[in-house]
Amino acid sequence: MPSFDVISKVDAQAVENAINVAKKEIVNRYDFHGSKTEVDLNKKELTLLITTENEMRLNAVLDIIIARGSKQGIDPRSYDVSKEHYASGPMIKKDVKLKNGLDKDTMKKIAKAIKDTGIKVQAAQMDNIIRVTGKKIDDLQAVMAFLRKGDYGFPLQFDNMKS
């Protein structure tokens, strides 16, 4: 029976490359000249720690990181910037987490959306992926097209297509 997996993952190497390019751009930009701005990447947990002097520079650093990540193929929705920045002496810090894997609420929302389409497929939740199975490959492709149109707060990829 044909099937595919709906996943959301971020390539750690692409993230590291994007951060390295962003660091070089920050060092070379005139408005950051003499600044004590730092960007640290924790590859194991896929988190960024941004340290800088003021909120304007923090927003500029976030824009640079998102722009460089987009050029490396990282979806801007992968960055979780919802956590507020906090003061640490004269500096401000912000933790940015990269979304890797689907959470339970999003998986339920996606499975319900697939069921509501009326296409004859089944969506099963396993760990942090959704396996979609059906009798026809055309039905699976219709589900993929439907999911590409929707916005679920996560970048979705389709993996492990079997016919």
pLDDT in the model for residue 143: 92
The verdict on 36 and 90 lying in the same domain is yes
Q: What H or E segment, with its residue span, contains residue 38?
A: strand 38-42
The verdict on 84 and 17 lying in the same domain is yes
- CATH classification of the domain holding 144: 3.30.70.860
Q: Residue 163: pLDDT above 80?
A: no
pLDDT in the model for residue 95: 93
Cβ(156)–Cβ(6) under 8 Å? yes
The verdict on 88 and 120 lying in the same domain is no
The total domain count for the chain is 2
The pTM of this model reads: 0.83
**pLDDT over 70 percentage in the chain:** 100
The verdict on 108 and 34 lying in the same domain is no
The verdict on 75 and 129 lying in the same domain is no
**pLDDT over 90 percentage in the chain:** 55
Structural domain ending residue among the three candidates 70, 98, 126: 98
Structural domain ending residue among the three candidates 74, 98, 122: 98
Nearest to 132 by CA among 8, 5, 42, 41: 5
pLDDT in the model for residue 161: 81
pLDDT in the model for residue 121: 92
The verdict on 25 and 91 lying in the same domain is yes
The verdict on 31 and 84 lying in the same domain is yes
The verdict on 85 and 124 lying in the same domain is no
- CATH classification of the domain holding 34: 3.30.70.990
pLDDT in the model for residue 67: 95
Query: Which range marks the domain in which residue 86 is found?
Result: 12-98
The verdict on 48 and 74 lying in the same domain is yes
